[in-house]
Amino acid sequence: MEKRLIRIKVNGDYYELYIKPKKLLVEVLRDELELTGTKRGCNTGSCGACTVLLNGHSVKSCSVLALQADGAEIITVEGLENSGRLSPLQISFLDHGAFQCGFCTPGMLISAVALLRENPNPSEEEIRGGIHGNLCRCTGYNSIVRAIKAVAEGKYREEEK
């Protein structure tokens, strides 16, 4: 099967890649672009460790063919910082200890970013719903909810400037 060309913007940078049609977006990000921040934890689209932003929407990159992302804008965990300055959400995660082994964390952060972009003032129930698609075996989620809530409550406004 012939390789196809895709043009994709990832974390602000443009890439042109030749890939086999069956390549998944997560494989292109991790293997071709070596952005290994995004992880994989299952084969059934269940764990959310591969979550990235695609044209502003959170998607599971293991369940999107790379070819379908042709022309799209992708944000991965590596794209959350701004010239090395951590985003408010990332600082909040540090402050609240909202990670332990860290394997689910990149996907979790992306889901949190997507949530807050769409709903800057979510209730606790909405926060939990916002990260429902991301499995974590270490934290029991409550520290993650606290971290997201703190950002939503404006505790990191200074960082946002």
Partner 1 sequence: MIRDFEYLRAGSLPEALDYLARYGERAKILCGGQSLLILMRQGLVQPEFLIDIKGLEELNFVELTAEKGLRLGATTTHRTIEKSPLIKEHFPLLAEMEKNLASIQTRNWGTIGGNLAHADPAGDPAPVLIAMKAKVILQKKEEKRVLELEDFFLDFFETTLAPDELLREIEVPPIPEQTGVYYEKFTILKSDQGIVSVAGLINLDDGLRCREARIVLGGAAPKPLRAKKAEKVLCGEKIDSKLLEKAGEEASRESEPVSDIHASEEYRRYLVKFLVKKIVGRAWAKAKELAENKGG
Partner 2 sequence: MRKKYTVINTPIHNIDGVAKITGRAKYTFDIKLPQMLYGKILRSPYPHARILKIDTSRAEKLPGVKAVVTGKDTRGVKQGIWRRYKELCDEEILAREKVRYIGEPVAAVAAVDEDTAEEALDLIDVEYEILPAVFEPIEAIKEGAPQLHENAERNINVTRHIEWGDVDEGFKQSDYVREDWFRCSSQAHVCMETHCAVASFTPEGKLTLWTSTQSHYYIQVLLADMLGLRESDIRVISRYTGGGFGSKFELDSAQFCSALLSMKLRRPVKIVLNREEEFMATKRRTPMFYYLRTGVKKDGRFVAKEARVFTEGGAYTAMGATALYLTGFFQAFPYVWPNYRYDGYRVYTNTEPTSAMRGFGAPQATFCAETQIELIADELGIDSIEIRRKNAMYPGYEVPGQAWIQSCGLRECLDRIEEWIKKRGELPPHRGIGIAAYGFMSGGIFNWFDTPYAFSSALVKINIDGKVDLFVGSQDMGQGSNTTLAMICAEELGVRVEDIRIHMGDTDICPVDLGAWGSRETLMQGNAVKMAAADAKRQILEFAAAKLSPNIVYDLDIKDRWVHLIARPERGLSYFDVVKEAIRGKDGQPIIGRGHYTPHRKGMISPAYSFGVQAVEVEVEQETGKIILHNCVTAHDCGQVINPLGVQGQLEGAIAMAAGYGFTEDLPMDEGKILNPNLVDYKILRAPDMPKTEVMEVETYEPEGPFGAKEAGEGLTNPTAGAVANAVYRAVGVSIKNLPLTAEKVLKAIKEKENKKEDEGRNEGI
Residues that bind partner 1 (CB under 8 A): 1, 4, 20-22, 24, 43-45, 48, 51, 54, 57-60, 62-65, 67-68, 111, 114-115, 129-130, 132-134
5 binds partner 2 (CB under 8 A): no
- In this structure, is the dihedral angle defined by the CA atoms of residues 72, 77, 80 and 83, taken in order, positive or negative? negative
The structure tokens 């602000």 sit at 12
Question: What are the Cα distances from residue 17, in Å, to 4, 118, 129?
Answer: 8, 31, 35
Among 4, 128, 149, 155, binds partner 2 (CB under 8 A): 128
β-sheet bridge partners, residue 19: 4
Residue whose CB is less far from partner 2, 5 or 138: 138
Structure tokens given for 124: 């606790």
Range in contact with partner 2 (rule: CB under 8 A) among 40-48, 53-61, 64-72, 153-161: 40-48
Residues near 90 by Cβ (< 8 Å), separated by ≥ 6?
Answer: 80, 81, 109
β-sheet bridge partners, residue 75: 53
Amino acid in the structure at residue 123: S
Binding to partner 2 (CB under 8 A) within 10-29 occurs at none
131 binds partner 2 (CB under 8 A): yes
The structure tokens 């075996």 sit at 137
CA distance 32 to 156: 35
Binds 63, which of partner 2, partner 1, none (CB < 5 to 8 A, cut-off by type)? partner 1
Among 51, 64, 96, 114, binds partner 2 (CB under 8 A): 96
88 binds partner 2 (CB under 8 A): no
Residues that bind partner 2 (CB under 8 A): 30-31, 34-44, 46-47, 49, 76-78, 80-81, 86, 90, 93-97, 99-106, 109, 125, 127-129, 131-132, 134-145
